[in-house]
Structure 1
Amino acid sequence: MPTIAFTKGHGTGNDFVLIPDDDGALDLSCDQVAALCDRRFGIGGDGILRVVRSRAIGAGAAMDAEWFMDYRNADGSAAEMCGNGIRVFAKYLVETARATIDAPLRIGTRDGVKTLTRSDLGFEVDLGRFVVDDADVVVRARGLDVPRPGQHVDVGNPHVVVGLSSVAELEALDLTVQPQLHPAPPAGANIEFVVPADPLVQDGVGAIRMRVFERGVGETLSCGTGVAASALAVRHWAGSAAPDRWTVEVPGGTLGVRMVAGEGGAHVLLSGPATLVYTGEVALA
């Protein structure tokens, strides 16, 4: 049974197992990923971040980025992007001297190349362009008295955001059971439940609270792209006078979101901390 090195890290409680595989020698099966992420019999994590050079992986071979974040959900499925994961990935590259962030750091993902810089909260990533889609979707969740309308938001991966009326309603949700979407998107979606702060905007910055059910994972303490999607949805609902800067409180902490003019249109940026917890070796079944 081969042994591999790993590092455990998290971004506002959204935790990952980082596996260095610079030259792309590993081919992890879905069962192996699930075993590593198992919180009772494995290391435990919301997903795997395989650290691999872009030229060594088919999805990133043509990208203008030395490193590729091969992100897998806890069930082994591949995902397009992870807003918390990419900050942890950048922290790992810097701490292991694989890269520096003196200049903007480019990292390849299945949603293209993302650029990271330092921020007051730790790292900020440009998630790129976004789409807010008003197509009808209804969300059923345990703890909600009636189904609620959802808001489609795409930030490189799909989200459905549901507005709730109170913190009590948010806390009453039972997200041990997967919420149901009608109609269900072909590839599924992350589902966010949000409550606006009172007041919603203070000193030009909007504020919301959020909980999330991540596809392929379950409820997590944080979801970076979900944080961005939630801010975009509430900004959309608030109308043209809504601010371009937001703070989003999740069970694992607080993250920042801002919208700026970028190449090809408006971009959404996410900022927050990244922490490396410990390193070790594990037998790969």
Structure 2
Amino acid sequence: MLKFSKMHGLGNDFVVIDAINQQLELSSSQIRFLADRRRGIGCDQLLLVEMASESSIDFKYRIFNSDGSEVAQCGNGARCFARFVRDKELTAKDSIAVETASGVIYLNLNTNGDVQVDMGLPHFAPTDIPFLEEQQDITYSLLLSDEQQVEIGAVSMGNPHAVMLVDDVKTAEVEILGPMIENHNQFPERVNVGFMAISNPSQIN
């Protein structure tokens, strides 16, 4: 029997599994089944809590997309990860060092129940994202599959992100543009797509 918890962070939902206190080897097909919203549990991503490979690190954090592929990082998942290891009494610490595929991140549990994630510095060099572009720039022009040209920013916070500036996030064509950008051939590992509107000099939606 598989023991798991279902959690969410800012709308992203996760299946979180303690792989320290139960023996576990999941294949890609099993992960796809668990993530299936009709036949399985249903989730955006599956998170595994594992023993760290070094004594100076508290845990190893592994992330799998709903298609079974493993990815390097997820900030919302990291917040759920921190709450999970505390609630399951896997640690009593307020500050946790966590090993990920893209390096060590630091999770802090505040007294009000919030979780802060220090994911390190952003990476803008195309080779670090990865993004197939010869030179680093502030924005890039992408030709989409419907021949539409869009402008994006590209950054990695341990996993690739594309950010598109729009007039209004509520009316942006998220469901149309999102998948085309996510699967664009200039992002060899695919990309998380965000839409941003600047309300004023101190507020971004």
Is TM-score (shorter-chain normalized) higher than 0.5?
yes
Displacement, 1:139?
5.7
Deviation by residue 1:19-38 (Cα, 9 ceiling, x = unmatched): 11106732211111111011
Q: Which residue in 2 is equivalent to 1:179?
A: 180
Task: Please name the residue that 2:128 is paired with.
Answer: none
Cα pair 1:162 1:193 within 8 Å, conserved? yes
Q: Give the Cα separation in 2 of the matches to 1:187 and 1:126.
A: 23
SS at match of 1:128: coil
Give the equivalent residue in structure 2 for 1:49. Answer: 47
Counterpart for residue 208 of structure 1:
204
Q: Distance in 2 between matches of 1:165 and 1:139?
A: 20
Q: 1 CA distance for matches of 2:10 and 2:81?
A: 14
What does residue range 268-283 of structure 1 map to in structure 2 within 5 Å?
A: none
After superposition, the C-alpha distances for 1:157-202 in whole angstroms (9 at most, x for unaligned) are 11111111224542x43249712366512222212121112x231x
Unpaired stretches in structure 2, ≥5 consecutive residues: 126-135
Q: CA RMSD in A?
A: 2.5
CA distance in 2 between partners of 1:178 and 1:167 (Å): 16
**Equivalent residues of 1:52, 1:67 under 8 A apart:** yes
Against the structure 1 CA distance between its residues 86 and 168, is the aligned structure 2 distance closer, same or farther, given a 3 Å change threshold? closer
Q: RCO greater where, 1 or 2, for CA within 8 Å and sep 6 or more?
A: 1
Q: Are residues 21 and 161 of structure 1, via their aligned partners in 2, closer, same or farther at CA, if it must alter by over 3 Å?
A: same
Indicate the structure with greater strand content: 1
Structure 1 residue identity aligned to 2:201: L
Q: Deviation at 1:85?
A: 0.5
8 Å contact from structure 1 (residues 150, 162) kept in 2: yes
The answer to whether the 8 A contact 1:115-1:126 is kept is yes
Aligned-partner residue type, residue 14 of structure 1 = N
| d(CA) in 2 for partners of 1:65, 1:183 | 36
Q: Which runs of 4+ in 1 moved over 6 A?
A: none
Q: Given the alignment of the two structures, is residue 159 of structure 1 paired with residue 161 of structure 2, yes or no?
A: yes
Find the residue that maps to 2:119 and give its secondary structure: strand
Letter in 2 for 1:184: Q
Give the conservation status (yes or no) of the 8 Å contact 2:109–2:115: yes
Question: For 1:138-149, what aligned pairs fall within 5 Å after superposition?
Answer: 138=142, 140=144, 146-149=148-151
Give the corresponding residue for 2:116.
Answer: 124
Aligned to 2:34: 36
Other-structure match for 1:73: 65
SS at match of 1:129: coil
Q: Within 2, Cα distance between the matches of 1:36 and 1:122? A: 28
Structure 1 counterpart of 2:83: 91
Equivalent in the alignment of 1:231:
none
Answer yes or no: is the 8 Å Cα contact 2:141–2:149 preserved in 1.
no
Unpaired runs of 5+ residues, structure 1, are 55-60, 202-206, 210-285
